[in-house]
Amino acid sequence: MTKLTSTIIASALLSTAMWAMPAFAADPGSANAGNGESMRDLGTGDYQPGRAKPIAPPKLTEDEASRAAPLTDEATAVKSYGIVGRSADGKDIKIDAGDTLKDLVIKELNAPANAPNADKTGLTGGDEAGRQVFGADDREQIKNTKTYPFTAIGYLEGKAKSGYGSCSATLIGPRTVLTAAHCLYSNEDKAWLDDVIFVPALNGNTADDAPFGAFSYESVYILQGFIDNYQGYYGSVIPWDLGIVTLKQDVGTNLGWLGYANYENLGDFTANIIGYPGDKPMGTMWKATCEVHAENIGVEYFQYDCDTYPGSSGSSVYAYDNGAKQRVVTGVNVAESPNANTAVRLNAANIEWINGLYK
């Protein structure tokens, strides 16, 4: 595997010293293998196999790349990094960006543009329900999901107006689950998904194939920009397609979680994407691996040819950092097309936003 740069900046206030913390410390950004104890008896979610359809990434049209110009107004950019959310009991949540996050947003806004070339990004064309497998299908099924890091990866389900939909998601803290915003909120319906559950290490299409049970959510959160900046097409909100689910129970202490970080000089690296693609047997976990090249990495997102499919939305894109000896999430898989797949990059501002919700 290509080694990532060893400099990790989890936020403006966190240093690489976080990697030296005790094994079970709940520090934002640090990985944890868990204690290996079962969570089966504590499951509270109402999981009914087969009722959900994989959520497809919103459709991308041919001219979206040219129309989705980056924000240039500082006030709008800062507002886009506010927190909007909804609790399981139906209460709306809204929190403005803090001073540290504001500074990071403005810094990134004024950074030299280095977005991937539109002709190579895969942000144009493509059927939202199309197969996103490049060349031979080299995805591998994870058959033993009850070992770390697979215990930290799970199936995410929620109820939309049209019925139940499924995505993929990753534990990044004791109660914190990382996914895509479009797995939690529909811009077309202008509504949150309800009855969100997280099923870690799911490995089949029956309730018995959920080895640790299913877990209900306490609240869900997305970036305010995912709602405010929507212009009727998905390309207008790709940079803000991040979501956080806070679970009611501390699942991660037992099952573990992955680390996450901003690599300031993110270059070539080997990406791993694990989730629940809808073209495979229902409820089975699959891994895709591919190379991400520096020329396809921008400030807000990056592209790759890892094989994905509807249902893979929300999967973490992670690499193994040889220096830190940890699996580190660098992005979230959000968009698909016949040319390339896209992840929102965990840049410094996104890391700070996530840290503000970490539990």
pLDDT of res. 234: 85
Q: 21 pLDDT band (50/70/90 cuts)?
A: very low
Q: Is residue 2 part of a domain?
A: no
| pLDDT tens per residue, range 216-227 | 999 999 999 999
Mean predicted lDDT score pLDDT of the chain: 82
| Choice between 20 and 244, residue whose per-residue pLDDT is larger | 244
Answer yes or no: is 235 within a domain.
yes
87 lies in some domain: no
pLDDT for the residue 307 = 75
Indicate the number of domains in the chain: 1
In a domain, 6, yes or no: no
Q: What is the pLDDT of residue 172?
A: 98
Domain ranges, residue 263: 16-62+98-355
Query: Which CATH number characterizes residue 200's domain?
Result: 2.40.10.120
Per-residue pLDDT, 233: 83
* Whole-number Å distance between alpha carbons of 5 and 268: 9
Distance CA 270, CA 259 (A): 16
| 79: in domain | no
Digit-coded pLDDT (tens) for 154-170: 999 999 999 999 999 99
More confident residue, 115 or 209: 209
Task: Give the per-residue pLDDT at 137.
Answer: 63
The alpha carbon dihedral of 33, 39, 43, 49 has a sign of positive
Asked if residue 11 is part of any domain, the answer here is: no
Residue 71 belongs to a domain: no
Residue 265, domain member (yes or no): yes
Give, in order, the Cα–Cα distances in Å from 197 to each of 5, 92, 93, 94, 129.
35, 19, 19, 22, 23
